[in-house]
């Protein structure tokens, strides 16, 4: 990190290449987002330079980007947040790289760290979209509705196992819901049954 100017640059210890030999330069608002994108898209750290602006784009950042533009042959990946500030940073930045190939990567959620967390927790593939997240919530709802519909005919052992699975799913989905509510209708897909689940957990009983 360069003083108070908010520039972070990371290069793998095994990456011995000079700037002119670097193939990818990734720029995001925070280094954790840059690292998350690397993990999601499986970039090779031996030819990739990671940069973060720490939530701002100042003259110091622009000077660095101009240096990259004039002295690098890398593909530039701009990976700012999926919000109004991220869009503003993108507009301020993309015109600087007029000599290099630019790739714009937008996170599905607010940022790539949120994407990585949700991808891992829901066991999604690395090119997931909002429909894939919606499907996980729909599957959860279907599982609960099945139990409610069949509660009088399911054997107790099966019912208890199903309830255990539902409680586990509920805990997982509740954990990630704050990251999702701006992007999918979690009220419709999740909260419909939340009171039933919470009552069951607190009472430690089946439906």
Query: One digit per residue, pLDDT tens: the chain, 207 residues?
Result: 554 557 888 888 888 888 999 999 999 999 999 999 999 999 999 999 999 998 889 888 999 999 999 999 999 999 999 999 999 999 999 999 999 999 999 999 999 999 999 999 999 999 999 999 999 988 888 887 777 777 777 777 777 777 788 888 888 888 898 999 889 887 776 666 666 666 665 555 544
Where, residue-wise, is CATH 3.40.1360.10 in the chain?
8-109
* Cβ atoms of 193 and 144 closer than 8 Å: yes
User: What is the CATH architecture of 8-109?
Assistant: 3-Layer(aba) Sandwich (3.40)
Q: Which burial class, exposed, middle or buried, applies to 59 when counting CB atoms under 10 A from its CB (0-12, 13-18, 19+)?
A: exposed
> Smallest Cα–Cα separation from 200: which of 151, 174, 163?
163
The whole-model pTM stands at 0.85
């Amino acid at each position: 990190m360069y003083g108070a100017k908010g520039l972070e640059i990371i290069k793998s210890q095994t990456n011995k290449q000079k700037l002119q030999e670097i193939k990818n330069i990734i720029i995001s608002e925070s280094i954790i987002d840059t690292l998350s994108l690397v993990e999601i898209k499986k970039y090779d750290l031996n030819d990739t330079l990671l940069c973060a602006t720490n939530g701002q784009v100042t003259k110091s950042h622009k000077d660095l980007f101009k240096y990259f533009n004039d002295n690098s042959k890398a593909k530039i990946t701009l990976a700012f947040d999926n919000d109004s500030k991220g869009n503003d940073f993108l507009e301020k930045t993309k015109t600087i790289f007029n000599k290099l190939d630019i790739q714009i990567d937008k996170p599905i959620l607010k940022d790539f760290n949120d994407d990585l967390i949700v991808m891992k927790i829901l066991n999604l593939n690395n090119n997931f979209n909002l429909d894939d997240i919606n499907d996980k919530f729909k599957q959860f709802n279907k599982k609960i509705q099945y139990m409610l519909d069949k509660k009088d005919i399911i054997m107790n052992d099966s019912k208890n196992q199903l309830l255990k699975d539902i409680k586990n799913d509920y805990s997982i989905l509740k954990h990630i819901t704050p990251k999702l509510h701006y992007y999918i209708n979690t009220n419709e897909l999740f909260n419909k049954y939340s009171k039933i689940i919470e009552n069951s957990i607190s009472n430690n009983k089946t439906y």
